[in-house]
Amino acid sequence: MDSHGQEEQPPVWAVVATDIGPLFLAATRDGLVNVVFHATDTIRDKALDRLASRLGAQPVEDPGSPLLAEAIRQLTAYFAGELRDFTLPLDWSLITGFNRQVLRELASGVPYGTVVGYGDLAGRVGQPGAAQAVGVAMGSNPLPVIVPCHRVVERDGGIGGFGGGLETKRKLLALEGVLPEPLF
């Protein structure tokens, strides 16, 4: 039992096939806690080790878990073009401070089909000179796609960087109608 008298529940995980490749998803009883791109066995195993260390419990594979089922359903609908806004409980425990502040603003303030500049996002959280720090926050986003760091671009029109790779960022922006579909 935990300090609230509730039964301890280990974190759960699954790998889901998507249009941008396999995604590793992990959830705690508080919500979705981690999404990892290109979830090969090696990447999945590294993500599991990191989560076990950070959360203090070894995640258990359970794709049918109610904690993951809704996330899988919403991601499937998103990639099918049927969902624009994720309505999932999120566990923000893997990120703190400025990075958490920036990612929360991104999640609530940059809707589907739009983009924001790194500097503009810095200004929204009261740090107008912190464009590079916003880039660091995007790179440390534990919940990509759900917390849409793919929607953050360079001021001069450049696509910017992306932890999932630029091809993945382009595909996500094309899905949302921001960019044309890649030709190949």
Residues paired with 81 in a beta bridge: none
Catalytic residue among 48, 115, 143, 149, which?
149
Q: Are 20 and 171 in contact (CB under 8 A)?
A: yes
Tell me the residue type at 65. Answer: S
Cα 80–Cα 137–Cα 123 angle in degrees, nearest 5:
100
Sign of CA dihedral 136, 147, 16, 171: negative
Joined tokens for residue 123: 């200004």
Joined tokens for residue 183: 């030709």
Residues paired with 16 in a beta bridge: 23
Q: Kind and range of the H or E element at 121?
A: helix 118-124
Distance of alpha carbon 91 from alpha carbon 32, whole angstroms: 6
**Does 153 qualify as catalytic in the annotation?**
no
Catalytic residue numbers, as ranges: 149
